[in-house]
Amino acid sequence: MSSNLFAAFAAHFPGELDSTLLELPGGARLSYADMLAGSGRLATLLTALGLNRGDRVSVQAEKSVNFLLLYLACLRGGFAFHPLNPGYTPAELQYFLENAEPALFVGDPAASAALALAETLNIPHRYTMDALGEGSLAAAAESLSGEFETVAVAPDDMAALLYSSGTTGRPKGIMLSHANLAANARALAQAWAFTPDDVLLHALPVFHVHGLFIALGCTLMSGSRAVWLPRFENATVLAALPRCSVMMGVPTFYTRLLADPAFTADLTGNIRVFISGSAPLLSETFGAFEDRIGQRILERYGMTETSVIASNPLHGERRASAVGPTVAGMQLRLVDDAGVPVAEGDVGHVQVRGESVFRGYWRMPEKTREDISPEGFFNTGDDGRLDADGYLYLVGRSKDLIITGGLNVYPSEVEAVLDRLPQVLESAVIALPHPDFGEQVAAVIVPRVAGEFDEAQARAAVKTELAGYKLPKSYLLIDALPRNTMGKVQKNLLRQQFQNGG
């Protein structure tokens, strides 16, 4: 029996294949039949080119229907899909292509440097795909047969290769198998009660786990449909919301919507659940959203190596600052530095095990052994605590932990206090060197009103809520916090900036 992820999706496709899969801008649509034929043509092309099972297909292109069809074609043909951020420079791209050694590269026709690099690296097959999905790849497949029999694969066969953001050291290739992705898609479709009647608002990028595997995984695993938007823009999202039943986004999506007076409870009356992930959701945003819309955002927690680990419940209490209990099929434990489980309520290193957890890093066996225990638990690099009800609260990345005078300070705890100050729009707490304590707590502040910040007032307010060793020793002003494409604050950049004198 095949473990192909596409076959798992196909078991849930609607009986009437003319049913809509994607609602496209301008009133066009992609049916399930269109998807089967389009992905079939591309799978036929890749197979005819001589690609073998497991060969990597690297793609640096904008979000388009053909991008999605190429991903599905790779699943059907047994090839490993390797999506790349369109924002990567040629210098960054070179590392990924040299490391992945793809058999085929697809790039934007306007990105001549990327295409030249692929040629220099002797990648056997090179094609183009623009922001509309047009280019030499689509042209080469256009006249081919859309009939393609999805190949049988083993559960551990690689379905996708994604790389870590590389904030420390070399980016690591994360091998995600067909079984990994199928297990998480099933768990999430169940946890969030997806049915064929659902309509997902999809404004996420598709080079990332969130948009490609989580959002589309739920759609395909339930035979439902999605409103397909090229990017997040308030106007297009507000226009689409009334005909949708589910929205997935990063916290930035929700803060931008809340800043728009047109975002109202009446407009969102058909939305049964708003889901947030990829970056921490501020409790302020959580509360403001409930006040405005009348329902709570469902926050969940995951990472590239694991897909979704935990989720606040669809039916049940959704708690601010909590990422919820674990999803089905996932085991979680919190351990100390020695690997010993910590007591309930204590902070520990988050480790997880389950069917959706990746099997290892691409060509990095030593790093794999370092991050995955002999019992199969993956060390996420996050620290957290569990309450009596099994809700997980993340307190920060292990590498972001500040040790000042031998005492541990978790940045998120300090940030929560700072973010409640009326004069603070948002904050990031980082460690900077200190001659006596080793590290000092430093608060990087984005003032609510540009250029206006009363440090004395902030110090006095924070002092009433935090122990002395947790108090920021320095306050550093910045216009905006640096974030990656999924909205995560890049604290490594802040540390570099302010260690070098700002």
Answer yes or no: is 192 within a domain. no
d(CA 150, CA 223): 18
User: Is the same domain home to 134 and 274?
Assistant: no
**Domain limit, last residue, from 397, 428, 463:** 397
Show Cβ contacts of residue 356 under 8 Å, excluding neighbours closer than 6 positions.
180, 181, 183, 184, 187, 306, 307, 308, 329, 330
User: Is the same domain home to 72 and 157?
Assistant: yes
User: Is the same domain home to 94 and 151?
Assistant: yes
**Domain limit, last residue, from 365, 397, 429:** 397
Please tell me the pTM assigned to this model: 0.86
**Domain limit, last residue, from 361, 378, 397:** 397
**pLDDT tens per residue across span 76-118:** 999 999 999 898 888 889 999 999 999 999 999 999 999 999 9
User: Is the same domain home to 237 and 356?
Assistant: yes
Which of 136-150, 207-221, 270-284, 300-314 has the least mean pLDDT? 270-284
Residue 167 has pLDDT above 70, yes or no: no
Show Cβ contacts of residue 462 under 8 Å, excluding neighbours closer than 6 positions.
414, 417, 418, 421, 471, 472
Q: How far is CA 174 from CA 98, 99, 335, in A?
A: 15, 12, 24
User: Is the same domain home to 131 and 174?
Assistant: yes
User: Is the same domain home to 87 and 158?
Assistant: yes
Query: H helices within 223-278, ranges in order?
Result: 234-240, 251-258
Answer yes or no: is 244 within a domain. yes
The pLDDT of residue 165 is: 59
Q: How far is CA 53 from CA 195, 287, 318, 421, 428, in A?
A: 33, 48, 43, 55, 45
The pLDDT of residue 405 is: 77
Residue 334: CATH number of its domain: 3.40.50.12780
As a whole-number percent, the residues of the chain with pLDDT over 90 amount to 85
The 3-state secondary structure of 67-103, one letter per residue: HHHHHHHHHHHCCEEEECCCCCCHHHHHHHHHHHCCC
Answer yes or no: is 225 within a domain. no
Answer yes or no: is 102 within a domain. yes
User: Is the same domain home to 66 and 168?
Assistant: yes
Answer yes or no: is 165 within a domain. yes
Residue 227 has pLDDT above 90, yes or no: yes
Q: What confidence tier does 169 reach under pLDDT thresholds 50, 70, 90?
A: low
Instruction: Judge whether 236 and 229 are in contact, CB under 8 Å.
Output: yes
User: Is the same domain home to 367 and 475?
Assistant: no
The pLDDT of residue 126 is: 98
Q: What confidence tier does 501 reach under pLDDT thresholds 50, 70, 90?
A: low
Residue 385 has pLDDT above 90, yes or no: yes
Mean pLDDT of the residues in the chain: 94
User: Is the same domain home to 244 and 374?
Assistant: yes
As beta bridge partners, residue 337 has none
What is the helix (H) or strand (E) element at residue 216, kind and residue range?
A: helix 216-222
Q: How far is CA 232 from CA 25, 203, 236, 237, 253, in A?
A: 13, 5, 8, 7, 7
Mode of pairing for the β-strands spanning 360-361 and 173-177: antiparallel
User: Is the same domain home to 322 and 389?
Assistant: yes
What is the residue range of 489's domain? 401-499
Answer yes or no: is 202 within a domain. no
Which sign, positive or negative, has the C-alpha torsion 247, 251, 252, 256? Answer: positive
User: Is the same domain home to 347 and 414?
Assistant: no
Answer yes or no: is 16 within a domain. no
Answer yes or no: is 278 within a domain. yes
User: Is the same domain home to 289 and 319?
Assistant: yes
Q: How far is CA 443 from CA 371, 409, 455, 499, in A?
A: 30, 12, 11, 13
Instruction: Judge whether 206 and 212 are in contact, CB under 8 Å.
Output: yes
In this structure, which long-range contacts are made by residues 292-295, counting pairs with CB atoms below 8 Å and at least 24 apart in sequence? Answer: 292/258, 292/263, 292/264, 292/265, 293/263, 293/264, 293/265, 293/268, 294/265, 295/271
**pLDDT tens per residue across span 325-379:** 999 999 999 999 999 999 999 999 999 999 999 999 999 999 999 999 999 999 9
Residue 431: CATH number of its domain: 3.30.300.30
**pLDDT tens per residue across span 408-465:** 787 888 998 999 999 999 999 999 988 777 789 999 999 999 989 999 999 999 998 8
* Domain count of the fold of the chain: 3
Q: Is 501 helix (H, G, I), strand (E, B) or coil?
A: coil
